């Protein structure tokens, strides 16, 4: 199983190869259990949207 890399409150953005998320900054709201394959999941939210999104760790990177 892969460990969670990002922390609650951390600002992240979509990776360049992730086309399922808008090009925006998101804040990690919650660490979720990993998928059956061991991939960590996160609940993230953009300030520009009202919805929360669930993403795999491979879809996001730390904002600089």
Domain boundaries, position 49 = 11-62
Question: What is the pLDDT, as a whole number, of residue 52?
Answer: 97
Measuring CA to CA, which residue among 64, 54, 63, 62 is closest to residue 6? 62
Is the pLDDT at 64 greater than 90, yes or no? no
* 2 domain residue, yes or no: no
Indicate the pairing of strand 52-56 with strand 26-32.
unpaired
Domain total in the chain: 1
- % of the chain exceeding 90 in pLDDT: 92
pTM for this structure? 0.93
* 28 domain residue, yes or no: yes
């Amino acid at each position: 199983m892969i460990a969670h890399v990002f922390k609650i409150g951390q600002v992240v953005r979509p990776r360049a190869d992730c086309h399922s998320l808008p090009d925006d900054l998101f804040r990690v709201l919650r660490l979720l259990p990993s998928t059956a394959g061991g991939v960590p999941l996160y609940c993230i939210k953009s300030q520009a949207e009202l919805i929360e999104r669930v993403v795999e760790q491979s879809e996001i990177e730390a904002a600089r």
